[in-house]
Amino acid sequence: MIQLHQVGKHFGGVEVLPPTSLCVYAGECLCLTGPSGCGKTTLLEIAAGLIQSDGGGRVELGSERVACAFQDDVLIPWLDAQANITFALPGKARGHADTAHHWLQRFGLAPISMPPAMSGGMRRRLNLARAFASGPQVLFLDEPFAFLDPGWQTVLAALLHEALDKGTAILMVSHQLRVLEQSLPGLEYRYLEP
């Protein structure tokens, strides 16, 4: 579960995100949409604990198993694809190689591929593979369908369905509403005003 209570943010005295509350239960997905600059990614980063809310807002996550895949690549450039995934997995290394191999196969990536040699779509798939590999109960996604061709968008939609069926709470940001409406019918949306 993801609960945000009156979280907001100012940068340089400018209100980027007014106080906002929302709740996403286990097995639910909420998509934040709205024009650029309205605070969608800021809200996601507050929810994920990457930045702090101003003015005493509160974030409650119903699990410690949290994963994120954001727009910007946060891959380790000197590690191959498999090592990028195993590096991010919690606990001891036993079984990590098998987990990484499974998710690399699902996302069509070679284990020895290096991030600097990958296309934007491949790097996006590696970011997503790393997030899914940890078996999260809470998943934060920023523009997950960006840089993916239609075939990979379909694969990602199926993986999101699987995660929801397992009880994962998903909070995402996307401008690609047509893709989402086709891939995840019944998805709940929240429009953020500029």
What's the 3-state SS for the chain? CEEEEEEEEEECCEEEEEEEEEEECCCCEEEEECCCCCCHHHHHHHHCCCCCCCCCCEEEECCCCEEEECCCCCCCCCCCHHHHHHHHCCCCCCCHHHHHHHHHHHCCCCCCCCHHHCCHHHHHHHHHHHHHHCCCCEEEEECCCCCCCHHHHHHHHHHHHHHHHCCCEEEEECCCHHHHHHHCCCCEEEECCC
pLDDT at 7 over 90: yes
- What's the whole-number mean pLDDT along residues 116-123? 93
* Of the candidate ranges 7-11, 14-18, 77-81, 190-194, the one whose mean pLDDT is the lowest: 190-194
Q: In this predicted model, which residue has the larger pLDDT, 83 or 192?
A: 83
Q: What is the pTM of this model?
A: 0.89
User: Distance between CA 71 and CA 49 in Å, rounded?
Assistant: 16
CATH fit for domain 1-64+141-148+166-194, picks 3.60.21.10, 3.40.710.10, 3.40.50.300, 2.120.10.30: 3.40.50.300
Mind listing the pLDDT tens digit for each residue in 66-80? Answer: 999 988 888 999 999
Using CA of residue 22, residue 157, residue 82, residue 63, what is the dihedral sign? positive
Q: What is the pLDDT of residue 96?
A: 86
Map out the domains of the chain as residue ranges: 1-64+141-148+166-194, 66-135
